[in-house]
Each structure stands twice: as C-alpha cells, then as structure tokens.
C-alpha cells in the first residue's frame, strides 16, 4: 500500500545496464499521458561524508588509480573498510547524507503528489558498500533494510540485469569488468526480494520499455 499520492518508481543496476535510458523513456511516456512525472538522477553525492572521503583519499588512495590498477585500488579500499571504527563512522554519515538528499530530491516531490522516476536509489549505494565490505547475501539484505529507515519505499522497483561484459562494452568510464561483476552479485542478492522486478538488460530498449509500461499500468490499475 503506497503512503504517497504520486508513484515512486526506481531503476537500479550496474553501470551500463540501461537505467537512464529506461527511466527517461518512462518519464516521457507518463508526461505524454498527462501525468505529473519527474525524472530524478539520484547518484549518491558526498556531503557529510566528504571530509572523511577526502582524508581517506589523501592518506591511503593517493597513489592508487582506479582506472589503471583496479585490483590495487580495490584491495586498499577493502582494507580501509576492514577498520570497524572507520567503516561504522562512514556508514553512519552516509546514511545521513542519503536521508538529506532523498528527502529533497524524492520526498518533497512525492509529497506534492508528483510521480518520481528515480535513476538509481539507495540499493545502488548499498551495492557499493556491499562490495567494499565483502557482504554476504544476509548482510546485503540487512543493509537494505537499515538504509531504508525513514526513506520513501518505492512502489515499483526495476533491477536491470545483464552480463557485466555486455555492460562494460556500452560505456567508456567503467574502471574494470570486476568492478561491475562484484556489484552485479550484490544486486542479484537484492533481487530475491519479492517486490523487485527483474528486467533482462540484453533485450532491446523497446522490449524492456514494453515490460516496464505493462508493470506500471498494472500498478496504476491496482491503486
């Protein structure tokens, strides 16, 4: 049961999966139908976490280049996240940043009755944390549950899944295939939640859009 008037629909998945393509297409289709819809690019932006991230980069990651040596970069980051104090402080500030950004970008438009089409949501942030902290499936689920505290719950969530090799070929700014492979695993853990709609990212954009539109139609009829 939704607690807001407008619909809240999210697209999540690895880079290159087609989230922006589908989110923009849905936003346009809803607008053409006369629905007050808003596309929101919701990649996490550091706020309170910024000083901690800056210090961490300067002290530990200064000589690491994610594009030239992804394995070395990843190993250092994982060691940092192995420090319980650092990782708990970081996660706590991260949640506050997410809460602030989510309230502004998503909570307010929803409260005004707009439909929000979100390109990335908290699940994507959890996927990043899961990779850096080597979470198991149970830990990923617990993190999702905790991070959603006080955040709007999506009415519909689409996870676009595809082989990491295919996604890697679609973009030029992805550090490494492993970067995608590790995140894909975290998303697949989340996809076992019953309310998530799994889309085949290897289908054509039009085919995916057809499935999206039919799910949105079903949701509108059910409300």
| Interface residue list for ligand ADP (CB under 6 A) | 13, 15-21, 170-171, 201, 203-205, 208
The residue (of 113 and 205) whose beta carbon lies closer to ligand ADP is: 205
Q: Closer CB to ligand ADP, residue 114 or residue 124?
A: 124
- Provide, rounded to whole angstroms, the least separation between the CB of residue 158 and ligand ADP: 11
Nearest residue to ligand ADP by CB is 18
**CA-wise closest residue to 142 among 150, 153, 130:** 130
Q: How far is the CB of 20 from ligand ADP (least distance, A)?
A: 3
- Least distance in angstroms from the C-beta of 222 to ligand ADP: 27
B/e letters for 54-91, b = 16+ CB within 10 Å, e = fewer, are eebeeeebeebeeeeebeebbebbeebbeeeeeeeebb
Burial bucket for residue 1 (CB in 10 Å: 0-12, 13-18, 19+): exposed
| Smallest gap from residue 31 Cβ to ligand ADP (A) | 18
Of 32, 38, 44, 47, the closest CA to residue 6 belongs to 38
Of 16 and 154, nearer to ligand ADP (C-beta) is: 16
Nearer to ligand ADP, 37 or 95 (CB): 37
């Amino acid at each position: 049961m939704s607690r807001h008037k407008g619909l809240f629909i999210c697209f999540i998945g690895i880079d290159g999966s087609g989230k922006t393509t589908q989110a923009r297409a849905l936003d346009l289709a809803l607008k053409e139908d006369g629905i007050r819809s808003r596309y929101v690019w919701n990649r996490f932006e550091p706020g309170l976490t910024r000083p901690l991230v800056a210090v961490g980069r300067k002290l530990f990651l200064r000589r690491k280049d994610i594009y030239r040596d992804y394995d070395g970069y990843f190993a250092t980051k994982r060691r940092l996240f192995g420090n319980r104090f650092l990782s708990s402080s970081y996660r706590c500030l991260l949640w506050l940043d997410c809460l602030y950004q989510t309230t502004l970008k998503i909570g307010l438009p929803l409260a005004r009755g707009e439909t929000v089409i979100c390109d990335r949501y908290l699940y994507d942030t959890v996927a990043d944390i899961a990779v850096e902290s080597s979470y198991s499936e149970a830990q990923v689920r617990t993190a999702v549950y905790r991070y959603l505290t006080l955040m709007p719950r999506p009415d519909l969530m689409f996870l676009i899944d595809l082989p990491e090799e295919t996604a890697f070929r679609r973009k030029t700014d992805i550090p490494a295939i492993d970067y995608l492979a590790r995140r894909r695993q975290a998303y697949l853990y989340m996809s076992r939640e019953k309310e998530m709609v799994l889309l085949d990212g290897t289908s054509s954009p039009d085919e995916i859009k057809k499935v999206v539109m039919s799910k949105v139609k079903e949701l509108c009829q059910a409300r």
